Amino acid sequence: MKFNLAIAALALAIPTAIYAQDSIAVSNGTYPNTFSSGSANVSPFTNQSKRFNDWSISVGAGVPLLQSADLTSIKNGNGKNLFGYSAYVSIDKAITHAFGINLQYDRGETRQGWFNTKDAAPDATAVGARTQYDAISILGDVNFSNLLRRVDNHSTYRWALHGYAGIGTIAYRAYQKDSKGQRLMTEVKPFKLGSMFMQAGAGLKFKVNRRIDLEGRLMYVVTGDDEFDGGGDAYSAINKRSEQISDNFFNATLGLSIKLGKHDSHLMWHDPLQEIYYKLDVLANKKQDIEVCKKGDADNDGVCDDWDRQLDTPAGARVDGAGVALDTDLDGVIDLYDKCVTVPGPVENNGCPIKKDNNQTAVEVEKSLKDIYFNFNKATIRPESNSKLDLAASIIKENGGNYLLTGHTDSKGNAAYNLRLSKERAAAVVGALENRGISQNVLKSKGVGSAEATIPASASDAERLADRKVTVKFIEASEWNSIQKKDYEDAPVKKSVKKATGKKKKK
């Protein structure tokens, strides 16, 4: 349970925060950037540029009341309330006007049970206990009054509601007293996993002056330990009185904070919204003549020369907020002169990409399709040809154009068979390229078999390899529609006929 408490409290107590105080730095004339507030009036955040104090020391004292335990301080068996004592001191650091971090030390003693351990036991069944504790914790401090303050609230800002939550380590010594006397029941030392605890609560601060605040707090402390109340071992008769496994207590305190630093105001008492609206009211009531475009607009691009970063913008060019001519595709040719505004291209081609000659493209595609492998006597392309097909498809996509793919075979074998095979293989290559994203409207196929073979049938297989190929030719648009998609018809699929099975003869 302590581990879960530690995780939950850590998420509340130590959020990610940045130092966000105003700067009074003087502008150096440079342009703003994405790391500034949007104004040129910025400088590095240093101690010299701070406007507010952000450190303070707090002290206080109060009364702890054990509320959730086997032995409690509130409404115990004989109807009495037993009051202990507590004190704290903390070092407080304001991160923003609405959030801070406190390092706090607590010391105190709780009293619980049927009677005060300073008195004698009233009878043999009465049990009293007291617990002396020391605790160190880190608390997150949320200023709800600054966080939720109305923008139109111009009233005096002297009250502030704060919320606290955090984790730490607690050490304690728990004593129990009955008719037999008083004895030490449990001792826990600090800075161990078993000593982790959590506390959370709220405080109401009143600003006395620029140096001192008064604060009343009510904190709820979760010890995560069933033996904090002095009940002894976890399985003792006293610790079996209730099912909870964490002894928790309220701690009501009254204290004061002393604000440190040379400035007149503390960051936690600063309301940035009120300051902004005050400055707006001052500006609204102030009469002043504002001179726009003091230096004029030399290039007539609609951006004043005071902040124009390109003073010689060509007439008619569109510009950005800094007066720089737009170049949408970032190719070095401004949109005014770019013939292909959205596609980058060289300056010498007016910003348009230079396409290769389609006949040269056909040569490159044919080269990439060299030595395409098919299964023996089939038009099925073998897997080792995939890389060549990928390259051919990328070349066609990049350069465009309409192309006719022609299949060839060597002169060996039956001429009719070779013709049919060359047609099917050329169509298979077209299909493979279209499967790689090529449009079906830019590729067509035909086969010529061995009609254009130049190597005799008596030559070796290695020599006849030059005749087994797919050639590629660029076709002009005027000729394209007169060419068929492919030059053969698919063979009809024959339906298989099941033969009637005869009856088995009896043996």
**Each residue's pLDDT tens digit in the chain (507 positions)?**
444 444 444 444 444 333 344 433 444 545 555 555 555 566 677 777 788 999 999 999 999 999 988 899 987 655 678 999 999 999 999 999 999 999 999 999 999 998 999 999 888 888 999 999 999 999 999 999 988 887 777 777 889 999 999 999 999 999 999 989 999 999 998 877 778 999 999 999 999 999 999 999 999 999 999 899 988 777 677 877 777 788 999 999 999 999 999 988 899 998 777 777 777 777 777 776 667 787 888 888 888 888 888 888 888 888 888 888 888 888 888 888 888 888 888 888 888 877 778 888 888 888 988 878 888 778 888 898 899 999 999 988 888 889 999 999 888 889 899 899 989 999 999 999 999 999 999 999 999 988 888 889 888 888 888 888 899 999 888 899 999 988 888 766 454 455 555 444 444
Contact 423, 444 (CB under 8 A): no
Q: Where are the beta strands (DSSP E) in 239-360?
A: 248-260
Give the tokens for residue 68. Answer: 């959730």
Q: How far apart are CA 170 and CA 225, in angstroms?
A: 11
SS3 of 286-318: the string is CCCCCCCCCCCCCCCCCCCCCCCCCCCCCCCCC
Give the tokens for residue 457. Answer: 């049938």
C-alpha distance from residue 268 to each of 55, 152, 176, 271, 492 (Å): 10, 19, 44, 8, 88
3-state helix, strand, coil in the chain (%, to 5): 20, 30, 50
Q: How far apart are CA 124 and CA 19, in angstroms?
A: 61
pLDDT of residue 14: 44
Q: How far apart are CA 130 and CA 230, in angstroms?
A: 7
Secondary structure class of 364 (helix, strand, coil)? helix
Q: Is 24 exposed, middle or buried (0-12, 13-18, 19+ CB in 10 A)?
A: exposed
- DSSP, residue by residue, 28-73: -SPPP-TTS-SSS------GGG--SB-EEEEEEEEEEEEEESSS-S
Indicate the angle between helix axes 358-368 and 386-399, nearest 10 degrees.
Answer: 170
Q: How far apart are CA 425 and CA 407, in angstroms?
A: 6
- CA 485 to chain CA mean position, Å: 52
C-alpha distance from residue 410 to each of 258, 421, 466, 472 (Å): 102, 11, 8, 18
Name the helix (H) or strand (E) containing 218: strand 212-222
